[in-house]
Amino acid sequence: MESFLCIFMEKCHIMFCKTSITVFLISVFCLNLVSGQKIFSCDNKYDADFKIYVVENKYDADLLVFKVENKYDAEGNKGLWFFVENKYDADKKIFFTDNKYDADLLIFFTDNKYEAGWSIRTKMYLLF
């Protein structure tokens, strides 16, 4: 009886550990999805996480970006960006390049919040 109880307790502990790890990983993943896009514009391309080019036509863009006025309005990876003054407050650091072919991401700044979003979803990983 004693060995059965030990085995039962051990299996319960293993199940609890697996469940705890799973809940933790899901929580971290969800926090990454809902974190806002706080952006810092670098003066040097080597300090940036990636390089972007601003296109003149929204149909040429990988991402349509709307600049929000409050950091709490920048939600998820949806193209709602809040520009911060300090690079340590940023989720991502970007460099604006003058050449389209040097860019990792092509963006278009839209005046409408509801237009913001990804045109080319394969580049979403850049902002996770």
Report the alpha-carbon distance of residue 40 to residue 52 in Å, rounded.
12
What pLDDT does 35 receive? 46
> Is the confidence at residue 27, as pLDDT, over 90?
no
Domains of the chain: total: 2
Mark whether 80 and 27 lie in a shared domain: no
Band (pLDDT 50/70/90 cuts) for residue 14 is low
Contact 76, 33 (CB under 8 A): yes
Mark whether 98 and 80 lie in a shared domain: yes
What pLDDT does 75 receive? 80
The model's pTM is 0.71
Mark whether 59 and 26 lie in a shared domain: no
Closest to 86 in 3D by CA, of 96, 71, 97? 71
Mark whether 94 and 49 lie in a shared domain: yes
